[in-house]
């Protein structure tokens, strides 16, 4: 009986761990998968999810994020609305992943984006007009 209770407790604990594992920032100043730092006078609000072997873009990225680092992961695709709530983003790094395509409209809400890094992926083609809403973009890295 004690063994069964121990298994149930362990199962509940592991279940809650895996559910939280997908969240980027649990609350301001604390992180789960990513390193989340608040803005200061000299640096923007940053969420660093780089080098975490992520297969999906984590949830829970604060809407106030200005710099999002997702490089050196295992991303093969990005949901079409993954960044739609991140309208303050000025920097987005997606380099060194395994992205095979970009969905139509994936960057449509990122009107403040200035720097987009997509190098070292497996992109063979891009959707028409995928960068059209990025009117403040000053740096775009697509090379391999």
Q: How far apart are CA 79 and CA 11, in angstroms?
A: 30
Is residue 16 pLDDT above 80, yes or no?
Answer: no
What average pLDDT is seen over the chain?
A: 85
Structural domains of the chain in order of their starting residue, each with its CATH number: 43-143 (3.80.10.10)
Is residue 129 pLDDT above 90, yes or no?
Answer: yes
3-state helix, strand, coil in the chain (%, to 5): 15, 15, 70
The better pLDDT of the pair 26, 49 is held by 49
Q: What is the pLDDT of residues 30-51, one digit of tens each?
A: 557 899 888 887 788 999 999 9
User: How far apart, in Å, are the Cα atoms of 129 and each of 46, 87, 123?
Assistant: 28, 19, 15
DSSP, residue by residue, 72-115: SS------TTTTTT-TT-SEEE--SS------TTTTTT-TT--E
The pTM (predicted TM-score) of the whole model is 0.80
Question: Do 123 and 99 form a contact (C-beta atoms < 8 A)?
Answer: yes
């Amino acid at each position: 009986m004690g063994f069964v209770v121990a298994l149930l407790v362990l199962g509940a604990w592991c279940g809650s761990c895996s559910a939280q594992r997908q969240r980027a920032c649990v609350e301001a100043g604390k992180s789960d998968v990513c390193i989340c730092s608040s803005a200061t006078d000299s640096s923007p609000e940053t969420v660093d999810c780089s080098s975490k072997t992520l297969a999906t873009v984590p949830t829970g990225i604060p809407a106030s994020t200005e710099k999002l680092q997702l490089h050196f992961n295992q991303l093969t695709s990005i949901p079409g609305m993954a960044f739609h709530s991140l309208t303050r983003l000025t920097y987005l790094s997606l380099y060194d992943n395994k992205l095979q395509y970009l969905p139509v409209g994936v960057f449509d809400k990122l009107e403040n984006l200035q720097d987009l890094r997509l190098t070292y992926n497996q992109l063979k083609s891009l959707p028409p007009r995928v960068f059209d809403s990025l009117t403040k973009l000053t740096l775009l890295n697509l090379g391999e």
